[in-house]
Chains A and B, each alone.
Chain A
């Protein structure tokens, strides 16, 4: 949050050149919105980014889904390094291709106030003073279902994972979480075959071994970029 002012000049420099990259970013936003069944609405994912983009262009949509539909089957977990590099190269090619396409005019995003029907009203929407965990009460959110959506990885096009997860209460103290409270979709690598023997299941997020390089204490699941 503190970077908002600082980076403002950068944003200004972006200008029209950014349309290509934005198109990729938009792809994420669009895919999510579709996946969530409009609970957020199409325009919502793009809110606050007024630059002209390629949203809604069927041409771009086609390119994007082609670019991200893996031509080859998902590689085996242990031997995908080359594939990953290729996929990255494809990504780069896609980015370049998109950058060269003219940006079609884009209608202003619809203001879907009603589209947020599923969202509980949020108190104190001015989120400028985020209370740090453990000091100050402020706006501590309460609820029953915590939904975490993975919108991107650090580069791997096929898998995503975590080594540990811990919920903190309003005072910043760890909140006891049981295995049966936690679920993932897709659950783990056993969801895509492999004989059900891969140990990297989602319950490993809750075991106390987090600072490790032993993947038997981690969770790994297939990942696919959200499609347009």
Chain B
């Protein structure tokens, strides 16, 4: 049925009218014959010595490029001598990042799963996965749950995935550096997601079901600049001290200037924090403390992607220039009433500050919003010329 061939078809369809058509059946049969149904699923088999004891598997997904990462395996069912060692719908494998700047291997813990004819805890995870995928699908069509608070983005509730990418697009004016003071990530239950910055897998700890993330920053920090060594502002500082549960307010004090993260940046560059997990995590809340030692080096426009799907796009508030306390900003992915009430004052809605908005109801002006006179121009345009100047050096006193 090609529309591209300009020549008339020398063999027009013999039955253009919708009468009973014997050729329809014929066509179907031909199609099915030409594409024989594959009886066996795609499998990988490892022949082991009988009685081998297996604790786990490590897998690295297909990683030829960011696009080709879609060829990576997502669902992998594992059986040993016929006994199920994965959830019935398979382990969910993380999509590869499309680059090789960090070890993206994923460890799968093999242990007996109840066969699916008994409703076991393992299948509850299956159901949760199915429900989460379905919730996201409905959110994309506007029918699903969304966060009932005005934010810069119409955010889904509890986005779930194996990777979370925080992409920092612009600074608040500085053309050379971009940083953050602190980050806190919380799961759908309001418990903090622990973040490890090392390359080794997270150490085992008491609760095997507690979610852990690892993080890789691109660029890592300002020590990646030539001639810079030993600057303490590395990415692990973002997550210290460890976050309390979300129901407790964030620490009110500013962080010491050495306990933050700073990385080289230039206009058009995207600095990225790539969080990755061994098993899917659900995101309920993100709290950010912007870079405060020099406000212009704070991050401004950002995006958040879960499993490479955009779930938020907005602006971070610049840190206050004076010596005020820590100005945390919250990005909400929850519809839990108590958490909403607690965090709503920390939500930043940039649209209201930068656009002229006049709300009129029955001829009465309900609200009026004008651009804030203090809002500087977008960092990228502002920084264009200055980016050509040599990068100034930066340092903080290292603590004893």
Contact B208 A131 (CB under 8 A): yes
Check A7/B50 contact, CB under 8 A, given A44-B117, A127-B114.
no
Q: Interface readout for A120-134 with B: 1 if CB under 8 Å, 0 if not? A: 101111111111111
Tell me the complex Cα distance, A130–B114, Å.
Answer: 12
Contact B111 A141 (CB under 8 A): yes
| Interface window among B121-129, B171-179, B258-266 | B121-129
Q: Which residue of A lies closest to B1 (CB)?
A: A71
A163 within 8 A of B: yes
Contact B209 A48 (CB under 8 A): no
Check A227/B37 contact, CB under 8 A, given A39-B82, A127-B111, A127-B122.
yes
Q: Which residue of B lies closest to A186 (CB)?
A: B42
- Residues in chain A near residue B85, CB distance under 8 A: 141
Task: Give the A interface residue count (CB, 8 A).
Answer: 119
Tell me the complex Cα distance, A104–B106, Å.
Answer: 40
How far is the CB of B136 from the nearest CB of chain A, in Å?
10
Check A44/B82 contact, CB under 8 A, given A1-B279, A153-B70.
no
Contact A6 B131 (CB under 8 A): no
Contact A129 B208 (CB under 8 A): yes
Q: Which residue of A lies closest to B62 (CB)?
A: A161
Contact of A210 among B60, B99, B109, B128 (CB under 8 A): B60
- Residues in chain A near residue B355, CB distance under 8 A: none
Tell me the complex Cα distance, A7–B159, Å.
Answer: 11
A56 within 8 A of B: no
How far is the CB of A116 from the nearest CB of chain B, in Å?
6
Check A150/B111 contact, CB under 8 A, given A169-B54, A181-B48.
no
Tell me the complex Cα distance, A31–B41, Å.
Answer: 8
Tell me the complex Cα distance, A226–B117, Å.
Answer: 21
- Residues in chain A near residue B361, CB distance under 8 A: none
Check A10/B135 contact, CB under 8 A, given A151-B75, A185-B42.
yes
Tell me the complex Cα distance, A213–B338, Å.
Answer: 45
Q: Which residue of A lies closest to B46 (CB)?
A: A146
Within 8 A of B (CB), among A195-228: 202, 205, 210-213, 215, 218-221, 223-224, 226-227
Tell me the complex Cα distance, A177–B127, Å.
Answer: 34
Which one of B55, B88, B125, B160 has the greatest number of beta carbons of chain A within 10 Å?
B55
- Residues in chain A near residue B118, CB distance under 8 A: 47, 125
Within 8 A of B (CB), among A125-156: 125-135, 138-156
Check A84/B70 contact, CB under 8 A, given A47-B117, A146-B80.
yes
Check A122/B126 contact, CB under 8 A, given A21-B137, A167-B54.
no
B3 within 8 A of A: no
Q: Which residue of B lies closest to A18 (CB)?
A: B134
B residues whose Cβ falls under 8 Å from a Cβ of A: 31-32, 35, 37-65, 67-85, 88-90, 95-96, 98-100, 102-105, 107, 109-135, 137-138, 143, 145, 157-158, 160, 187-189, 204, 207-211, 279-282
Q: Could you pull out 17 A-B pairs where Cβ atoms are within 8 angstroms?
A: A13-B145, A47-B118, A65-B37, A69-B31, A115-B117, A119-B82, A126-B114, A127-B111, A141-B110, A145-B46, A145-B80, A146-B48, A148-B43, A154-B69, A218-B62, A218-B63, A219-B62
- The 6 A-B pairs of least Cβ separation, nearest first, read A48-B123, A47-B116, A164-B60, A2-B209, A143-B81, A7-B128
Seed contacts A149-B78, A152-B74; 10 additional CB < 8 Å A-B pairs = A3-B160, A7-B132, A48-B120, A125-B115, A145-B47, A164-B60, A164-B105, A165-B57, A210-B103, A224-B38
A residues whose Cβ falls under 8 Å from a Cβ of B: 1-8, 10-11, 13-14, 17-18, 21-22, 25, 28-29, 31-32, 34-36, 39-41, 43-49, 65, 69-71, 81, 84, 111-113, 115-116, 118-120, 122-135, 138-156, 159-172, 174-175, 177, 181-186, 202, 205, 210-213, 215, 218-221, 223-224, 226-227
